[in-house]
């Protein structure tokens, strides 16, 4: 009997192999069995905040290794948001494949007419297990995941005391509220807060990572699995274990080239909650402190990613698993005088995206323009699953086979009713409509990747300005932007 070699590009259930061996014959492989999928989504992590992808000051050895074993995308983007909670539509565009303007109530509701990623995977034979942050209505959770644990409904919370829900409680979420006495020293009045339980004093990243590890260690199902772990970090409150803070010295943290004490004009969102995390005007010492905390949380994420990968290897299924690490949006943290993600600069719309696994090129990097929205149809193509008609995004599966291939010609992004942006492989145009006034910014991203020099008034760039302006409105019409296209 010939030996069968199983590697990262050959997937076959061990139970079936053993059946044929015990029967005294060799199995006939007629086609590959679908791989497992581990999807880890960070919260508020910028695209370049990985050592291997552009920021040498951040300690991310596991993300660096994942990038070396797979494919990283330097031009992955979100489409934007119609609320300050930018993460909400991003996560729902991932699960529905819908364009931003085709979401229902900015993603807070997933109608039955929208086929979710989890439903498509379950129809294809996957067990779908969800962990961590979920920012839409609980009713849709059951459609995406057929199992899960330690689920957080909401945008943010104290990282050390996160109100959580078991999968069984999701259907009765409104009734699964815990009693709390807020002013227990003086009062005995009970109020009820969302969340079935909490692990007091245990960090959210540790809870979610350990839940993922436990799932991997105990998984005995015959079906492949889709394990989705949605972190709450590096979103504020930016607190973590002391050992991660101790890895960074504020003296050694660089101030970004586009640091400004304040934004040069009113962008329509100057006093949203995120912008109030630091005093005005911005100062370099304060920015350094925030960056230290931001980097420490990213390193915490990286550390636990390594633990999840170790669990896959110990289980013997690492070679049969697609691993995806991405984020829901970026963050300014002092760039352009801003601190939040409620803007359309590169630091707030560009996200990390690394894909590793069977059939994925090794140590490859793509500059193709892709949206997080495109991940749903891409996974369908990778797994041989029919893309539902409700999906708007377009698959970049061809880029996974050829890292030098292109995808979208432009990236177009939106924030509320007052900001729109478009970029191609060199130039970027941002338009603002605030209080009946309009501002334009034109950047050469090749010469000026930090978007510091506005070229709008330069006559030599008039042709680029007109071209991008025309293309912007064509894109907005394609994406069903009924606010700017009337």
Q: Give tens-digit pLDDT for 6-41.
A: 334 444 444 443 433 333 443 332 345 899 999 999
The domains of the chain are located at 32-162+198-401
The pLDDT value given to residue 31? 40
pLDDT tens-place string over residues 292-301: 999 999 999 9
> Is pLDDT of 48 > 70?
yes
Q: Is the pLDDT of residue 3 over 90?
A: no
Q: What is the pLDDT of residues 382-406, one digit of tens each?
A: 999 999 999 999 999 999 999 999 9
Q: What is the mean pLDDT of residues 156-166?
A: 95
Q: Is the pLDDT of residue 149 over 70?
A: yes
> Token pair of 334, please?
């002092």
The pLDDT value recorded for residue 9 is: 44
Burial class (CB in 10 A: 0-12, 13-18, 19+), 474: middle
The arithmetic mean of pLDDT across residues 35-59, rounded, is 96
Q: Backbone phi, then psi, for 9, in 5-degree steps? A: -110, 5
Strand 71-73 relative to strand 353-356: parallel, antiparallel, unpaired?
A: antiparallel
Q: State how far the Cα of 477 lies from the Cα of 266, in Å rounded to an integer.
A: 26
Phi, psi of 398 (to 5 degrees): -65, -30
What are the pLDDT digits (tens) for 185-227? 999 999 988 889 999 999 999 999 999 999 999 999 899 999 9
- Per-residue confidence (pLDDT) for residue 169, from 0 to 100: 82
pLDDT at 21: 36
Q: What pLDDT sits at residue 415?
A: 98
Instruction: Measure CA 421 to chain center.
Output: 20
Cβ atoms of 406 and 368 closer than 8 Å: yes
What per-residue confidence (pLDDT) applies to 139? Answer: 86
- Tokens standing for 83? 């609320």
Q: Which residues contact 114 (CB under 8 A, 6 or more apart)?
A: 96, 98, 104, 390
The confidence score (pLDDT) of residue 168 equals 87
**Cα 357 from Cα 8, distance rounded (Å):** 7
Closest of 334, 372, 368, 369 to residue 81, by C-alpha: 372
Predicted local distance difference test score (pLDDT) of residue 413: 98
Would you place residue 136 in the very low, low, confident or very high pLDDT band (cuts 50, 70, 90)? confident
Within a 10 A sphere around the Cβ of 183, how many other Cβ atoms?
9
Residue whose pair of structure tokens reads 């002391």 in the numeric block: 242
pLDDT of residue 427: 98
Q: Is residue 403 within 8 Å of 415, Cβ to Cβ? A: no
H helix count then E strand count, the chain:
12, 18
Among 103, 71, 74, which residue's Cα sits nearest to residue 90? Answer: 103
| Verdict on whether the full-model pTM lies above 0.95 | no
- Band of pLDDT at residue 172, cut at 50, 70 and 90: low
Nearest to 37 by CA among 223, 294, 259, 252: 223
Q: Would you state the pLDDT for residue 220?
A: 94
Asked whether 366 and 73 are in contact (CB, 8 A), the reply is yes
Mean pLDDT of the chain: 92
When pLDDT is averaged across residues 451-466 and rounded to a whole number, the result is 98
Contact between residue 344 and residue 413 where contact means Cβ atoms under 8 Å apart:
yes
Fold classification of 32-162+198-401 is: Alkaline Phosphatase, subunit A (3.40.720)
Half-sphere exposure of 319 (CA within 13 A, CB side): 11
Is 92:109 a contact under the CB 8 Å cutoff? no
Q: What is the mean pLDDT of residues 86-99?
A: 97
3-state SS record for 405-426: CCCECCEEEEECCCEEEEECCC
């Amino acid at each position: 009997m010939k030996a069968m070699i199983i590697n990262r590009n050959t997937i076959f259930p061990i139970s079936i192999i053993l059946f044929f061996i015990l029967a005294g014959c060799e199995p006939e492989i007629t086609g590959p069995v679908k791989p497992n999928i581990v999807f880890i989504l960070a919260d508020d992590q910028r695209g370049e905040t990985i050592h291997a992808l552009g920021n040498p000051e951040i300690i991310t050895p596991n993300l660096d290794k994942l990038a070396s074993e797979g494919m990283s995308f330097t031009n992955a983007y979100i489409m934007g948001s119609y609320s300050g909670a930018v993460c909400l539509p991003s996560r729902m565009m991932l699960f529905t494949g819908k364009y931003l303007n085709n979401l229902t109530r900015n993603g807070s509701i997933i109608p039955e007419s929208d086929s979710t990623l989890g439903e498509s995977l379950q129809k294809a034979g996957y067990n779908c297990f969800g962990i961590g942050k979920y920012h839409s209505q609980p009713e849709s959770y059951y459609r995406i995941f057929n199992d899960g644990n330690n689920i957080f409904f909401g945008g943010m919370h104290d990282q050390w005391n996160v109100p959580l829900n078991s999968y069984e409680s999701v259907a009765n979420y409104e009734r699964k509220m815990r009693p709390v006495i807020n002013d227990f020293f003086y009062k005995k009045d009970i109020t009820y807060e969302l969340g079935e339980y909490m692990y007091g004093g245990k960090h959210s990243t540790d809870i979610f990572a350990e839940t993922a590890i436990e799932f991997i260690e105990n998984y005995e199902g015959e079906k492949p699995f889709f394990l989705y772990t949605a972190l709450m970090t590096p979103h504020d409150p930016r607190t973590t274990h002391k050992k991660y803070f101790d890895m960074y010295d504020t003296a050694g943290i660089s101030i970004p080239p586009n640091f400004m004490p304040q934004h040069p004009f009113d962008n329509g969102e100057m006093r949203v909650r995120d912008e109030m995390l630091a005093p005005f005007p911005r100062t370099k010492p304060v920015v350094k402190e925030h960056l230290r905390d931001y980097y420490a949380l990213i390193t915490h994420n990286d550390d636990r990613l390594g633990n999840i990968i170790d669990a896959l290897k110990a289980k013997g299924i690492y070679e049969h698993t697609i691993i995806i690490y991405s984020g829901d949006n970026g963050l300014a943290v002092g760039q352009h005088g801003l601190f939040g993600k409620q803007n359309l600069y590169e630091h707030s719309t560009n996200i990390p995206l690394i894909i590793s696994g069977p059939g994925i090129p090794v140590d490859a990097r793509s500059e193709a323009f892709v949206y997080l929205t495109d991940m749903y149809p891409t996974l369908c193509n990778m797994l041989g699953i029919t893309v539902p008609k409700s999906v708007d995004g377009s698959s970049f599966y061809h880029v996974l086979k050829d890292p030098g291939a292109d995808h979208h010609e432009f990236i177009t992004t939106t924030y509320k009713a007052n900001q729109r942006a478009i970029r191609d492989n060199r130039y970027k145009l941002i338009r603002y409509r605030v209080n009946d006034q309009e501002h334009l910014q034109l950047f050469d991203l090749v010469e000026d990747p930090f978007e510091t020099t506005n070229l709008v008034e330069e006559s030599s760039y008039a042709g680029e300005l007109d071209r991008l302006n025309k293309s912007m409105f064509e894109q907005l019409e394609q994406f069903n932007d009924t606010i700017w296209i009337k």
